């Protein structure tokens, strides 16, 4: 049987592993940035060399043109020139043509090197963006691990209760991590891989079929980028929306509702009555999670196309109503997978509130949440 010390050791090892991963990603990002800087300098020098070579080639082409005219004149009036003059004219024309050919070959090589560096810079830029994104996500995970486990340690004083409750929290968090891992793998990770593949396809299309076809391919990538951005934002919202700390409960719910409505192509109305002052953090977090869970249930399970979210705030309490026109369900039947509803009840009970759910098959669902404001 694992002791409290064993649990703390496991937690510390998990945090250390994530921190090491963050450091590795940061190192990759910094190395990529340095290589990007060096390649940018090389590219600037190459472009300057190409321009100089072009100018020199243009001047040399003029000289070649005049040498050809001189050679034609000598050839047409062969008897008027001495043997030395004829020889010098032929040799000069040949030398100038050789120099021009060498300069053209040099320009070709310079252009190839320039294109190669530009391709490497594009790939490095993608690597830097990916590394920065991963560092941000790992930072969120680290904060999640540190803060939540510290809160668990402070909340539980009795050793036996701490062990039982700690195991329950670990199980829930492992389920959340598995869910988050699946969402990242099946969502943003797959989409980013597809975008990377499509970006390489754009490069090939541009080379083989020209700019017009490449632009068509780039336009087709927009929906993938838009979906990836939505998925990343949704995952961040699931962890903890930053707007909740910065703007407060009402703007955060309004933005969440608008995003859900736009992405799912449905009608979700949000109204708020009463004062709009900031509430203590525990109330704002709980109320947002409750609204989030109820709306997601209506979208995923109730198959609703219209949802209404009403929030009423006064000096002594907060009342929230979430209504949908979905398929409804029989509230007398207990479902094994109703973990979301259980979590909602626990959140409400922790704040000494009341949760009421009314629903019938084929008639939609009405969720009523009433929470007293004790602070």
Both 261 and 365 in a single domain?
yes
Q: Is residue 140 part of a domain?
A: yes
Which CATH number covers residue 249?
3.30.565.10
Last residue of a domain, which of 155, 179, 196?
Answer: 155
| Predicted model pTM | 0.43
Q: Is residue 351 part of a domain?
A: yes
- Phi-psi map region of 67: left, alpha, beta (phi>0 left; psi -120 to 50 alpha): alpha
Alpha-carbon span 200 to 182, nearest angstrom = 26
| β pairing state of 267-274 and 306-313 | parallel
Domain that holds residue 354: 241-372
Both 137 and 252 in a single domain?
no
Which CATH number covers residue 140?
1.10.287.1490
Q: Mark the ranges of the chain whose per-residue pLDDT is less than 70.
A: 1-8, 11, 78, 144-189, 233-243, 276, 334-340, 375
Q: Is residue 301 part of a domain?
A: yes
Structural domain total, the chain: 2
Q: Judging by beta carbons within 10 Å of its beta carbon (0-12, 13-18, 19+), is residue 286 exposed, middle or buried?
A: buried
216 HSE (CA, 13 A, CB side): 6
Residue 41 · residue 133 · CB < 8 Å: no
Q: Is residue 109 part of a domain?
A: yes
The model's pLDDT over 263-314, given as tens digits with 9 standing for 90+, comes to 888 899 999 988 767 888 888 888 988 998 899 888 888 888 899 999 999 8
Both 151 and 25 in a single domain?
yes
What is the reported pLDDT for 50? 82
What is the reported pLDDT for 321? 94
- Any bridge partners for residue 354, and if so which? 370
Considering only CA atoms, which of 318, 305, 313, 209 is closest in space to residue 265? 305
What is the reported pLDDT for 84? 76
Both 21 and 120 in a single domain?
yes
Alpha-carbon span 80 to 86, nearest angstrom = 10
**DSSP code string of 227-260:** HHHHHHHHHHHHH--HHHHHT-HHHHHHHHHHHH
Both 145 and 23 in a single domain?
yes
Q: Is residue 192 part of a domain?
A: no
Both 32 and 138 in a single domain?
yes
Both 18 and 151 in a single domain?
yes
Q: Is residue 228 part of a domain?
A: no
Which DSSP symbol is given to 306?
E
Q: Is residue 307 part of a domain?
A: yes
Alpha-carbon span 24 to 292, nearest angstrom = 35
Q: Is residue 197 part of a domain?
A: no
Could you give the angle at the alpha carbon of 136 between the alpha carbons of 130 and 141, nearest 5°? 125
């Amino acid at each position: 049987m694992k002791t409290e010390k064993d649990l703390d050791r496991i937690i510390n090892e998990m945090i250390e592993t994530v921190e090491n991963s963050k450091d590795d990603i940061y190192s990759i990002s910094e190395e990529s940035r340095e290589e990007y800087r060096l390649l940018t300098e090389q590219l600037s020098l190459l472009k300057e060399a190409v321009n100089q070579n072009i100018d020199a080639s243009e001047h040399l082409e003029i000289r070649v043109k005049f040498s050809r005219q001189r050679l034609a004149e000598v050839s047409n009036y062969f008897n008027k020139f001495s043997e030395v003059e004829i020889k010098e004219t032929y040799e000069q024309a040949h030398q100038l043509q050789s120099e021009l050919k060498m300069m053209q070959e040099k320009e070709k090589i310079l252009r190839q090197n320039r294109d190669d560096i530009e391709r490497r810079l594009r790939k490095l830029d993608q690597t830097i963006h990916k590394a920065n994104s991963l560092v941000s996500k790992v930072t969120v995970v680290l904060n999640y691990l540190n803060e939540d486990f510290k809160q668990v340690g402070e909340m539980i004083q009795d050793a036996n209760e701490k062990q039982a409750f700690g195991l329950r929290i670990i199980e829930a968090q492992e389920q959340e991590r598995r869910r988050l891992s699946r969402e990242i793998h099946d969502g943003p990770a797959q989409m980013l891989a597809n975008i990377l593949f499509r970006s390489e396809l754009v490069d090939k299309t541009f080379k083989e079929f020209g700019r017009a076809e490449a632009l068509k391919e780039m336009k087709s990538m927009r929906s993938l980028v838009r979906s990836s951005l939505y998925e990343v934002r949704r995952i961040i919202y699931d962890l903890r929306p930053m707007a909740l700390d910065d703007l407060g409960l009402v703007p955060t719910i309004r933005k969440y509702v608008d995003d859900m409505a736009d992405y799912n192509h449905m009608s979700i109305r949000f109204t708020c009555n009463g004062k709009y002052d900031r509430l203590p953090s525990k109330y704002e977090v709980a109320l947002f999670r409750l609204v989030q869970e109820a709306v997601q249930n209506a979208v995923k399970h109730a198959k609703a196309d219209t949802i209404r979210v009403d929030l009423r705030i006064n000096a002594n309490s907060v009342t929230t109503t979430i209504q949908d026109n979905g398929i409804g369900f029989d509230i007398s039947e207990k479902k094994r997978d109703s973990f979301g509803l259980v979590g909602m009840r626990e959140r409400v009970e922790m704040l000494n509130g009341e949760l009421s759910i009314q629903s019938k098959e084929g008639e939609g669902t009405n969720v009523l949440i009433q929470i007293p404001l004790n602070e």
